[in-house]
Amino acid sequence: MFSPLSLDGQSLCLNELVQVARQQLPVHLSPDAKKSMQHSYQWVRDSANLDMPIYGVNTGFGSLARVRIHREQSALLSKNLIRSHAAGVGPIASRDICRATMLLRANALAKGVSGCRPLLVETLLQYLNVDFYPHIPMKGSCGSSGDLAPLAHLGLVLIGDPEGTAEFNGQILPADQALQLAGLSPIHLEAKDGLAITNGAQLSTAISALACHDAKELVLAAEIAAALSFEALLGVSRAIHPSVHRLRPYKGSLACARNLRALLEGSDYIDSVPEKVQDAYSLRCTPQVIGASRDTISFAAHQIHIELNAATDNPLILMDENTDNHAYSAGMFHGEPVGMAADCMKIAIAEIASLSERRLYRLTNGNLSQRLPPGLIGSDRPVLGMMVPQTTAAALVSENKALGWPASMDSIPTCEDQEDHIAMSTVAARRCTQVLHNAQRVIAIELMSAAHALNLRKESQPTKKLGAGTEQALLNVRQCLRACGPHATIGDQIEQLRTGICNRSIFAGLPTLTPVERHA
């Protein structure tokens, strides 16, 4: 299928991360990266002869950097870090989030500035390639210095500590037993290994990266749903005319309008109400609203892309600098860029759903739907039509608002006031994902309702042509719902369409759509 990924610390892109996390793309460490890892590792070993403090090698951690540690105790220092820092609580990261986290930590180490052995990266890649799944609790991290606790839980597994947990071949076991089952060896830690494993916001980035990928897909699904609604509600096409959008040239709104035009091309239903000069905002302003969301998701994608290939460790071992002390202490682990991007992305995703729900309201409101039956009642759904799913969508949109507090805005001092500004990037990323999942369901409901509405239109006006894309989208929705069993509830059908968004089956056979780009 795809050729294996060569991990070099510099060129990982979002699509590759998704392929590794969700589609088992094999990964190996690039030989050049291995060399630079060896180089900085050798310096850390040799630094035993230098009489100077190197953070986390011969000093304590956090505010305890004031305490000098004998070099002979460096390995124990690393082990103590992993064990005492495994302070996570709450639900376990899903398999794809765990895999993305491991890949990202490996990629950061592959940059060769962490002063650790290639063995650490090779072990993480082995876990990925044999589908070995460490259990990482997702709550408890402040996102600075990085995702210490979650990565420490990964560390427990790496060292085969029985307090760690991992899953292999369907069995969930203490880490030592799980490693044995998988035929893997535990790692014996050396100087600086503890920091190398834990020091970076990789869990926050993994969650945000997967959410970003899914958000880009959601935008396209939302545009398909919007096109179906536009057609069902006999929309006025001047609102998506290219000459109009060139005059307020947000990249996102240009792209959205372009996609709507492509999907609706050739439709007889559009512009079929001559006395209607303009639609309500939830139709007419779709390019502006989804466009703003597109641009915000693009910004987030840009930030996340940088983080994918970033050095997040502390200290960093910069062998190219002309100095005896190659250890540079900085704040590369601070998750603020990721957290802020996740919070912004969350708003963008919530707005997509909010707009969609308003179109649903119009579809089901007999006073607003251009003479569709109230509630979209018809032979398919004779009792209440699509009335109740609109309430479902309203509940989801409201919940998104309640989750809207931007987590990255909060900070609580930690570590005897040494770590006195923190990112809360993990919380930001998790909330973004929650909002995304709610939004996927809202779009699924709009797909279902708008398809239903178009079918009612077709019944009463069978000779009219549908749009080039919407006709296919209708078929895709129908095909997707065929998988529902005879006792499926409306809720089950909504979930089935959500699955169709996630596995892309609702995109099948559509005209080419402009995706959400990463801003250059």
Residues 163-182 that bind other proteins (CB under 8 A): 163
Q: Which residue stretch of 95-103, 284-292, 328-336, 390-398 sits at the interface with other proteins (rule: CB under 8 A)?
A: 390-398
Q: Which of 34, 99, 153, 457 binds other proteins (CB under 8 A)?
A: 153
Interhelix angle 387-402/336-364, nearest 10 degrees: 160
Q: How far apart are CA 314 and CA 335, in angstroms?
A: 13
* Ordered DSSP codes for 200-240: S-HHHHHHHHHHHHHHHHHHHHHHHHHHHHHHHTT--GGGG
Amino acid at 47: S
Q: From the CB of residue 518, how many other CB atoms can be counted at a distance below 10 Å?
A: 19
Segment 290-349, which members bind other proteins (CB under 8 A)?
none
Do the strands 327-328 and 316-317 form a parallel or antiparallel pair, or are they unpaired? antiparallel
Using CB under 8 A as the binding rule, whether residue 89 contacts other proteins is answered as yes
CB of 131 or CB of 492, closer to other proteins = 492
Which residues pair with residue 168 across a beta bridge? 171
Q: Which residue stretch of 126-134, 166-174, 245-253, 388-396 sits at the interface with other proteins (rule: CB under 8 A)?
A: 388-396
Question: Nearest approach, Cβ of 123 to other proteins (angstroms)?
Answer: 20
Q: Which of 387, 468, 475, 502 binds other proteins (CB under 8 A)?
A: 387
- 55, 250, 328, 361: the catalytic one is 55
Using CB under 8 A as the binding rule, whether residue 389 contacts other proteins is answered as yes
Segment 346-365, which members bind other proteins (CB under 8 A)?
357, 361, 364-365
Q: What is the 3-state secondary structure (H, E, C) of 326-387?
A: CEECCCCCCCHHHHHHHHHHHHHHHHHHHHHHHHHHHHHCCCCCCCCCHHHCCCCCCCCCCH
Question: Nearest approach, Cβ of 60 to other proteins (angstroms)?
Answer: 4
Q: How far apart are CA 442 and CA 393, in angstroms?
A: 5
Question: Nearest approach, Cβ of 346 to other proteins (angstroms)?
Answer: 11
Tell me the CA distances in angstroms from 122 to 29, 254, 369, one per residue in order. 7, 45, 59
Question: Nearest approach, Cβ of 314 to other proteins (angstroms)?
Answer: 15
Using CB under 8 A as the binding rule, whether residue 141 contacts other proteins is answered as yes
CB of 143 or CB of 235, closer to other proteins = 143
Question: Nearest approach, Cβ of 332 to other proteins (angstroms)?
Answer: 18
Q: Which of 39, 399, 455, 458 binds other proteins (CB under 8 A)?
A: 399
Question: Nearest approach, Cβ of 416 to other proteins (angstroms)?
Answer: 5
Q: Which of 50, 347, 388, 475 binds other proteins (CB under 8 A)?
A: 388
Q: How far apart are the first and last CA of the chain?
A: 29
Question: Nearest approach, Cβ of 514 to other proteins (angstroms)?
Answer: 29
CB of 224 or CB of 448, closer to other proteins = 448
How many C-alpha atoms does 323 have within 13 Å on its Cβ side? 9
Question: Nearest approach, Cβ of 406 to other proteins (angstroms)?
Answer: 8
Whether the CB-CB separation of 108 and 312 falls below 8 Å is answered with yes
Q: Which of 441, 452, 457, 518 binds other proteins (CB under 8 A)?
A: 441
Q: Taking CB under 8 A as the rule, which mask of x and - marks residues 56-75 in contact with other proteins? A: ---xxxxxx--xxx---x--
Q: How far apart are CA 237 and CA 257, in angstroms?
A: 10
CB of 261 or CB of 359, closer to other proteins = 359
Number of residues that bind other proteins (CB under 8 A): 93
CB of 296 or CB of 354, closer to other proteins = 354
Whether the CB-CB separation of 1 and 20 falls below 8 Å is answered with no
Using CB under 8 A as the binding rule, whether residue 375 contacts other proteins is answered as yes
CB of 26 or CB of 373, closer to other proteins = 373
**Structure letter (DSSP) for residue 421:** S
Segment 189-208, which members bind other proteins (CB under 8 A)?
none
Using CB under 8 A as the binding rule, whether residue 156 contacts other proteins is answered as yes
CB of 48 or CB of 475, closer to other proteins = 48
Question: Nearest approach, Cβ of 492 to other proteins (angstroms)?
Answer: 8
Using CB under 8 A as the binding rule, whether residue 398 contacts other proteins is answered as yes
Using CB under 8 A as the binding rule, whether residue 436 contacts other proteins is answered as no
Q: Which of 258, 373, 499, 502 binds other proteins (CB under 8 A)?
A: 373
Using CB under 8 A as the binding rule, whether residue 413 contacts other proteins is answered as yes
Which residues pair with residue 27 across a beta bridge? 5
Whether the CB-CB separation of 65 and 42 falls below 8 Å is answered with no
> Annotated catalytic, 55?
yes
Q: What is the 3-state secondary structure (H, E, C) of 382-411?
A: CCCCCHHHHHHHHHHHHHHHHCCCCHHHCC
Q: How far apart are CA 340 and CA 37, in angstroms?
A: 31
Q: Which residue stretch of 226-234, 327-335, 344-352, 371-379 sits at the interface with other proteins (rule: CB under 8 A)?
A: 371-379
Q: Kindly tell me the burial class for residue 31, based on how many C-beta atoms sit within 10 Å of its own C-beta (0-12, 13-18, 19 or more).
A: exposed
Closest CA to 229 of 21, 369, 79, 393: 369
Q: How far apart are CA 106 and CA 125, in angstroms?
A: 7
Residue 447 in tokens:
């797909």
Using CB under 8 A as the binding rule, whether residue 280 contacts other proteins is answered as no
Segment 466-495, which members bind other proteins (CB under 8 A)?
485-487, 489-491, 494-495
Using CB under 8 A as the binding rule, whether residue 401 contacts other proteins is answered as yes
Q: Which residues are catalytic?
A: 55
